Chains A and B, each alone.
Chain A
Amino acid sequence: MATRIERLPYGIGRWSAGWTILLGVLLAIITVGVYAYYQQLALGEVVTGLRDIGTMGGAPWGLYVSFVVYFVGVSFAGITVAAMIRLFRLKHLRPVARMAEVLTVIALILGAFSIIADVGQPLRAVVNLFRYARPGSPFFGTFTLVMSGYLFGSLVYLYLDGRRDAALLSKQPGRLQSFYRLWAAGYRGTPSERERHSRASFWLAIAILPLLVAAHSTLGFVFGLQVGRPGWFGGLQAPGFVALAGVSGVGLLIIIAAIVRRVLGAQDQLGRNIFRWLGSFLLVLTLAYLYFMIVDLLTSTYAAHHHEVRITTALLKGEYAWLYWGVVAALLTSVSILTVQYIPAPAGVRLPAAWPRFVRVAGVALLADGMLTASQAIPAIKQSGFAFSPQVVAVLIVLFIALLAVFWVGLLPLIRGKPIMTAVIAGVLVNLAAIGKRYLIVVPSQTYGTLLPYSTGSYSPTWVEYSIVLGLVAFGILLFVLFMKVFPIMEVEDSMPL
């Protein structure tokens, strides 16, 4: 029974030059972020692009709040996947369970820091939340359920789930031995302990799942219940938040799993079936979110109040159109590659063989045509004598669509042959889309959504905001890397006995 492992698994405690460089880069980014935050604390939020609505023509919620929502959304994946593995006995997904749990905890910590970054007086804000939060306010739910209950529940889940591995690692002499012993807390791996852990995890999963839906819905209600804010007020905010949270979280989990697979050489543990399952889950969630987007768009363009129409116009063909259509394109691209990858072709239908040279030529032509078409929108070119006539522009657009179709069909066989790469590309695209969509949810309703007769506002984040957000992202990566270096990021296999 007391067989001990000779070397800590998954690269724990071993630092190569690559890891050290990564650590240095992350610390440098975090330092810039801390310096930017110091500037914000010392000089006030005037160093940011945040301004009051109306009289100051700005938006008090900007990049920070967009990332609060994004980070909290990302946290969805971890504990959902972990709970689903436990409840539905998805044993083949066990290798991603721990990284999913860690992702949840780190994302929630980053979400809390983003809130701290957003408020001018952080200490006062934190104390007053504990003191005055009103049960009737959705902020109460966000604060109590998301930042406290959800984070604490995830920590408990992670702790209990890691006891077995901690007990295993505590048998290996080393600097971290006492830490592992503390974590294991006397775990010996007896049948009754295993049974108890199984029962406790089951009930924790049962408790966490409804809490998770309630927590993400509450975050949606922060926006959806604001009757005086066109673009926010609506019944779809809560379910939309839950769906987009799942999309971004599962997408990020796929990316992390692929990186861990590559870095640790864990091709056996993190096999294609795991990515296939996660990709399918991502596909379903993305389709659900696209449905919400279409319903929301139809409602706000069919017979909405003119304030709603004003925001929708800004999204569809105004100031935010590039971002809105970028988000749509990213989500549709993800859906299409995941569909090609995971839905089997009907019997008798065969995809054409890949012609890499043909795909390359089509891709270059597509890029050239796209740049030429996009250049026509630049004001300087419009005013110069190099502007094409509308007929030529129309031909360029048609050509672009045709080339895109050709390029896409040429890519299909390549996509089908690489399921992990496909899932990772989809994961990256949906996360970019999620960040963009969070920004589109938060900002336009403040710059375009006032019911009072104010002129249109504007918001541009400053270097301070970008630096703080990048610093937070780097901090999250740093926490993940440090965790990987002190504890197994994947469950240690059963073949290693206690």
Chain B
Amino acid sequence: MRTTLVVLMIAAGFALQAVSYFLLAAPIGVPTSPVYSDPRLPFAPALFILGVMLVFLAAVVYELLPEERSS
């Protein structure tokens, strides 16, 4: 359970980083129009940071979550 949650958090964190960086923030490329200046979703950089934090928080969850008691 704990390992699954940690793996999910890490995967979600990296996915959030990738999606916000490549798909939600301002397009990457030669800025030929104003479209390249604004993010496609406002506060996309904040989502990227959230992804980074989620990955690091996985370590806290891994250490703090109580172990499952075997019956």
B64 touches A136 (CB 8 A): no
Query: Per-residue CB proximity of B26-68 to A under 8 Å, as 1/0?
Result: 1011010000111100110110110011011101101110110
The contact of B49 among A149, A160, A163, A199, by CB within 8 Å, is A149
CA distance A144 to B63 in the complex (A): 25
Residue A134 CB within 8 A of the other chain: yes
A149 contact set on B, CB distance < 8 A? 49, 52-53, 56
A153 touches B56 (CB 8 A): yes
Residue A38 CB within 8 A of the other chain: no
Cβ-Cβ contact count across A and B, 8 Å cutoff: 78
Residue A131 CB within 8 A of the other chain: yes
A160 touches B48 (CB 8 A): no
Which residues, 116 to 152 on A, are CB-close (under 8 Å) to B? 129-136, 140, 143-145, 148-149, 152
A134 in contact with B52 given A143-B45, A185-B64, A196-B63 (CB within 8 Å): no
A134 touches B49 (CB 8 A): no
Q: How far is the CB of B22 from the nearest CB of chain A, in Å?
A: 8
| CB nearest neighbor in B for A211 | B52
Residue B25 CB within 8 A of the other chain: yes
A156 touches B49 (CB 8 A): no
Residue among A131, A159, A193 facing the most chain B CB atoms (10 A cut-off)? A131
A132 touches B45 (CB 8 A): yes
Q: How far is the CB of B25 from the nearest CB of chain A, in Å?
A: 5
Residue A186 CB within 8 A of the other chain: yes
A136 touches B45 (CB 8 A): no
| CB nearest neighbor in B for A156 | B56
Q: Which of A20-28, A171-179, A200-208, A378-386 contacts B (4 or more CB under 8 A)?
A: A200-208
CA distance A186 to B31 in the complex (A): 52
Q: How far is the CB of B39 from the nearest CB of chain A, in Å?
A: 6
The contact of B28 among A135, A143, A145, A160, by CB within 8 Å, is A135
Query: Which positions in B face A, CB cutoff 8 Å?
Result: 21-22, 25-26, 28-29, 31, 36-39, 42-43, 45-46, 48-49, 52-53, 55-57, 59-60, 62-64, 66-67
B60 touches A160 (CB 8 A): yes
Q: How far is the CB of A384 from the nearest CB of chain B, in Å?
A: 59
B26 touches A135 (CB 8 A): yes
Q: Can you sample 7 A-B contacts with CB below 8 Å?
A: A133-B25, A134-B36, A144-B49, A145-B52, A156-B60, A186-B64, A204-B56
| CB nearest neighbor in A for B53 | A152
A135 touches B55 (CB 8 A): no
A200 contact set on B, CB distance < 8 A? 59, 62-63
Residue A192 CB within 8 A of the other chain: yes
The contact of A134 among B26, B46, B62, B64, by CB within 8 Å, is B26
A148 in contact with B52 given A135-B26, A143-B45, A156-B57 (CB within 8 Å): yes
B37 contact set on A, CB distance < 8 A? 132, 134
Interface residues on A, range: 20 to 34
Q: How far is the CB of A342 from the nearest CB of chain B, in Å?
A: 35
CA distance A145 to B56 in the complex (A): 12
CA distance A148 to B51 in the complex (A): 11
Q: How far is the CB of A188 from the nearest CB of chain B, in Å?
A: 11
Given known contacts A135-B22, A143-B45, what 12 new A-B pairs fall within 8 Å (CB)? A130-B43, A131-B42, A134-B25, A134-B37, A135-B25, A136-B28, A148-B52, A156-B56, A156-B59, A156-B60, A160-B63, A199-B62
A129 contact set on B, CB distance < 8 A? 45
| CB nearest neighbor in B for A204 | B59
B42 contact set on A, CB distance < 8 A? 131
CA distance A197 to B49 in the complex (A): 25
B52 touches A152 (CB 8 A): yes
CA distance A240 to B28 in the complex (A): 26
Shortest beta-carbon contacts, A-B, top 4: A149-B52, A133-B45, A130-B46, A148-B49
CA distance A193 to B31 in the complex (A): 51
B43 contact set on A, CB distance < 8 A? 130-131
| CB nearest neighbor in B for A150 | B52
A192 touches B63 (CB 8 A): no
Q: How far is the CB of A322 from the nearest CB of chain B, in Å?
A: 41
B45 touches A140 (CB 8 A): yes
A185 contact set on B, CB distance < 8 A? 64
CA distance A129 to B45 in the complex (A): 8
A131 touches B60 (CB 8 A): no
Which residues, 42 to 86 on A, are CB-close (under 8 Å) to B? none
A144 in contact with B48 given A131-B43, A135-B25, A200-B63 (CB within 8 Å): yes
A204 contact set on B, CB distance < 8 A? 56, 59
A135 touches B21 (CB 8 A): yes
The contact of B39 among A131, A160, A196, A207, by CB within 8 Å, is A131
CA distance A131 to B47 in the complex (A): 10
A152 in contact with B45 given A185-B64, A192-B67 (CB within 8 Å): no
| CB nearest neighbor in B for A149 | B52
